[in-house]
Chain A
Amino acid sequence: MEYEIKPRTKLTLGLAELWLYRELFYFFTWRDIKVKYKQTVLGFLWAILQPLLMTLLFTFSLGRIISENSTLNMPYPLFAMSGLVVWNIFSSGLANAGNSMVNNANIIKKIYFPRLIIPISAVLTSLFDFLMAFIIFIGMLFFYQTKVSIPHFILFIPLSLFVTCIATFGIGSWLAALNIKYRDFRYVIPFMIQGLLFLTPVIYPLSLINNVSLKYLLAINPMYAGVEFFRYGITMQHFDNQLIIISVTSAIFFFVVGLFYFRKTESYFADLA
């Protein structure tokens, strides 16, 4: 085996190297999950309780108003929960990934491994929380006796997860790289997540909005597609193709830009951290 260490000249994805270090994905994700629920009484239950409590909160506060003013083809609690389980991948994934490089600065300063593993593992960690909550969500489907088309379910739930994950990873790794250079982003991230919750049809349906240009503006948000695909997989509630295309394009855009920016700057992380 012979290789060279030299100044980076061309930008590659480094997939071969990622494969070589594939076990680290597992260990970092496993560490983050373990640490997250260490010394808690309820442990993994928190992964379920968080979206469940949020659903309750939104059902009692907004449920009536929204149900009366729009046509939902599922009960509001199910509607809110379906939005929230996907949204939580994005929100916790973004928060974890965005801070991941700074939080792991002591490791990246002392040892080499492909840096991408850290933000990817952060997204995988939030995917784990999703799986826990998803079990409850399926329980809710039975509880409300929702009729689900299995082919749609099998096709669109993974599609929703895919779009959500590439968007989360893209924005997350971009923020992670920016965060290590400009610590301002540490303060931007929570604010951004809170703001985006209201710009995504998580707790309200897009049909509530009448202004067409506002709809297009909202569709730039990559999570629009994530949430809509997920709901389509449950109820086949019609979505606007044009808006979905904009949103998916936006997700791909963030994925490419985030990945590119991260790879471009990663070799200097150790000097900056």
Chain B
Amino acid sequence: MKPILEIQHISKKFRIRHEKQPYLSIRDSFSSLFKPSNNSTEDFYALQDISFNVNQGDTIGIVGKNGAGKSTLLKILSKITPPTSGKIICRGRIASLLEVGTGFHPELSGRENIFLNGSILGMKRSEIVKNFDAIVDFAGVERFIDTPLKHYSSGMQLRLAFAVAAFLENEILIIDEVLAVGDSEFQEKCIGKMEDVSKSGRTLLFVSHNMGAVKTLCNKGVLINEGKLVLHDTMNAVAMKYITNSSHRNNEFIIDYHKHRNGIGYATKVSVEDIEGNTIQVISIGQAWQIRVNFTINEQIPHFIIGIGFLTSESIPFRTSWSVPQVILPGNYEAIFKETKIHYGSGKYFIHVGLSSREQTFNYIQDDISIDFDDYVDKSIAPRSNGLILNQMESEIKKL
């Protein structure tokens, strides 16, 4: 059987204007007529020569760093933007969900929005009518179905939006980071629905940073880096490559302290290490680890505290930790935060660092510093655990 999607040598070129104007004005066009621009534009390839085939029933996870070109690829597949060169042969109807609730209008009621959103997604009116009750039921918004959407909570809006999308009957579904929003219950519902979709023999293309979700859902993967196809293989192989690939960046985060520089002091480097002090990219669950922060102090501080904070990949604050207050003299220092007891769930966590004098934070780093936990679980430490913290609680069963 022929592949359902043949992606052949797709490239996408953007022209970058260096003035960084989001849009043009006529005056600019006129003035450039008279004064030939001194090369103020630059060509930038968001995608370069991407080729791969997708077979019917495949669930493909597309992974890569931010800015790698994943979203551009999805936009080309969804026909939102044309490729600069190359072509894609499609043998099925494509529905793309680059966002949930596209076209939702706050002034319209839930009922009206179901019809509007459904038809924008490409559903026939008859299909929407047929599935209407099921959609409302899935979203759980029966009572508010004739209330304007603006009075819905954001969670309800999200559920409604996903419910409409869940009833798309297209042969090929393209989903972009839809799961990046919503609470964990909603995310699980989404994953469950997508599993159903893939089991029903339809084809799914799925972009996400959530390695756990991609690995449970997808059988094949595509890794894109800087607009180029790095690997097209089984999902496990691709996920492995992605994790090891990003470790080339290693796990020492040099902080551009000029940006944060101030008189009192500033952090210069943050590194993620194993307990012996070797920098590591991915921490196996159960392994002890530490974070080392190098910093410079220029003035004597009578009440110095250094703190680090962890955020989940959805940027939800997860944990903070502070040093004991102390007097500190000018000089270069390092602080080490060790973790030997608590086991974090697999995934990426962001790290913030703050230096404070009494209650006043004078240097706060929230750059892209992150720490990754692999999903390898040492069963003796955390049997059958899942979630953000894998440690077991103390429990006992008593006969009454």
Chain A positions near chain B (C-beta within 8 angstroms): 1-8, 21, 23-24, 27, 31, 34-35, 38-39, 106-113, 181-184, 267-268, 270-272
Contacts and interface: CB of A to CB of B under 8 A. Distances in A.
A18 B83 CA distance: 22
B105 A35 contact: yes
Nearest to B5: A5
Interface of B: 14, 23-27, 29, 75-93, 96, 98-99, 102-103, 105, 107-108, 112, 115-116, 119-122, 124-125, 148
B189 to A, nearest CB: 22
30 contacts: A5-B76, A5-B77, A6-B82, A6-B83, A6-B86, A7-B82, A23-B119, A24-B119, A31-B112, A31-B116, A34-B107, A38-B108, A38-B148, A106-B102, A106-B103, A107-B102, A107-B103, A107-B120, A110-B99, A111-B98, A112-B78, A181-B23, A182-B24, A183-B23, A183-B25, A184-B25, A267-B82, A268-B82, A270-B81, A271-B81
A4 B88 contact: yes
B108 A34 contact: yes
Contacts of B80: 108-112, 270
B87 A35 contact: no
A3 B90 contact: yes
A23 B120 CA distance: 9
A110 B98 contact: yes
Contacts, number: 103
Contacts of A35: 105, 107-108
Contacts of B76: 5
Q: Interface SS of chain A: helix, strand, loop or mixed?
A: mixed
B83 A7 contact: yes
Contacts of A107: 102-103, 120
B75 A270 contact: yes
Contacts of B81: 267-268, 270-271
B299 to A, nearest CB: 49
B96 A271 contact: no
Contacts of B98: 110-111
Contacts of A38: 107-108, 148
A267 B12 CA distance: 13
A27 B90 contact: no
A1 B91 CA distance: 6
Interface centre among B77, B93, B112, B125 (most CB of A within 10 A): B112
A27 B96 contact: no
Nearest to B27: A184
Contacts of A272: 23
Given A27-B116, A31-B116, A110-B98, A7 B105 contact: no
Contacts of A181: 23-24
A38 B147 CA distance: 12
Nearest to A20: B122
B26 A111 contact: no
B78 A184 contact: no
Given A111-B96, A182-B25, A184-B25, A24 B120 contact: yes
Given A106-B102, A110-B80, A112-B78, 7 more contacts: A1-B93, A3-B90, A27-B116, A34-B107, A38-B148, A108-B80, A184-B27
Contacts of A39: 107
A164 to B, nearest CB: 27
B26 A5 contact: no
Contacts of A4: 87-90
A5 B12 CA distance: 13
Contact of B29 (A27, A106, A182): A182
Given A7-B85, A34-B112, A271-B14, A182 B75 contact: no
Given A108-B80, A271-B81, A27 B120 contact: yes
Contacts of A110: 80, 96, 98-99, 102
Nearest to B89: A4
Contacts of A109: 80
A27 B107 CA distance: 15
A5 to B, nearest CB: 4
Contacts of B78: 111-112
A140 to B, nearest CB: 32
Contacts of B75: 270
B29 A6 contact: no
